[in-house]
Amino acid sequence: MGANFSSIFMDPATTCSLFGAFSPPIQQPPRRPTLGDLPESCVAPILANLDPVEICKLATLNRACRGASWADFVWESKLPENYRDLMERVLGVGNADGKRISKREIYTRLCAANTIDDGSKKVWLDKTTGGVCLSLASKGLMITGIDDRRYWNHIPTEESRFSSVAYLQQIWWFEVSGEFEFPFPAGTYSLFFRLQLGRTAKRFGRRICNTEHVHGWDKKPVRFELWTSDGQYASSQRFLNDTGKWNLYHAGDFVVHKDNDASMKKLKFSMTQIDCTHTKGGLCLDTVLVFPCKFRERLKHF
């Protein structure tokens, strides 16, 4: 009996079984609340004060932030005031169909480079600010002499959103113009021409620029002009003298006001150098760009 009695206390497993019922339960420390415990209704108003990029980053933090990041009122505050007009013009989605799409999805789809008007334009929202940006291809412009291959050619390139640019070999009368209508939201916008002196190519995987045909741009400045359907006008003159790289040349600014008549703004613009005393050539014309005016500080232009 003595051996059996002592063996009980020597066996740890048996010891636990004998005295476990008499020992008090171990108290677990209370779990500290975390950000994930916040209700989505409290998180969403916080997200509404952030820019879209910050909202998407916080959405990966926890379940509460992820759920709140889908709230319609969060994204509606980031969309342009006339986003319904943009949906119809850019995405081809009417007001009735748009009500079935979340505001976050609408914002995402508008931020993509959407191609419209038979491929001649691309429209997108700036992901950070929600500002409307538009790009018009060289094939959508009216270019004097474009049908005569002695003067102009459309050449393929990876350096354009539209995969091709118009290249001027030589001409006496240089004139490029265009016009279009678009429902810009209220704000101030700048219009640019994207140009390059010289023709780029790749050799052994490296970018090279042939400036052999560049001439005539240092004799007289190029004139840029901009008109709007409500009577605004702007003009500027620039010498083209920076070879081998793309530059944005500022034509002018225009304002879209908050009224019913401004829902569809018509723009007309041109770029000319029509002094026939000399020829000019070696110019690549990529696109005409329209950006919110506040973007000018982060764009390199002349």
Q: For residue 121, how many other CB atoms are within 10 A of its CB?
A: 21
Give the per-residue pLDDT at 36: 57
Question: What pLDDT is stored for residue 30 in this prediction?
Answer: 64
Indicate whether 198 and 290 sit together in one domain.
yes
pLDDT at 5: 46
Asked, for residue 5, whether it belongs to a domain, the answer is no
Domain presence at residue 43? yes
- Pair (275, 137) in one structural domain: yes
Task: Tell me what pLDDT residue 109 has.
Answer: 95
The tally of domains found in the chain comes to 2
Residue 67 domain boundaries: 35-76
Q: What are phi and psi of 77, to 5 degrees?
A: -70, -15
Same domain, 175 and 287: yes
Which segments of 103-153 does DSSP mark as H helices, in order? 103-111
Position 207 in a domain:
yes
Whether residue 91 is contained in a domain is answered as no
Q: Is 154 in contact with 138 (CB distance < 8 Å)?
A: yes
Name the residue type at position 227. W
Identify the segments of the chain with pLDDT beneath 50. Answer: 1, 5-9, 13-20, 262, 301-302
265 and 175 part of one domain: yes
Q: Which amino acid is at 16?
A: C
148 and 41 in one domain?
no
pTM of the complete model beyond 0.85: no
Q: Which CATH number do you get for residue 235? A: 2.60.120.260
**Whether 58 and 186 share a structural domain:** no
The reply to whether 1 falls in a domain is no
Residues 137 and 57 in one domain: no
State the pLDDT at residue 38. Answer: 64
Residue 282: half-sphere exposure toward Cβ, Cα within 13 Å? 20
The answer on 66 and 142 residing in a single domain is: no
Looking at residue 66, its pLDDT comes to 85
Q: Are residues 72 and 146 in the same domain?
A: no
Q: Is residue 48 part of a domain?
A: yes
Q: Can you spell out the DSSP letters for 213-252?
A: T-BSTTTSPEEEEEEETTS-EEEEEE----BSS-EEEEEE
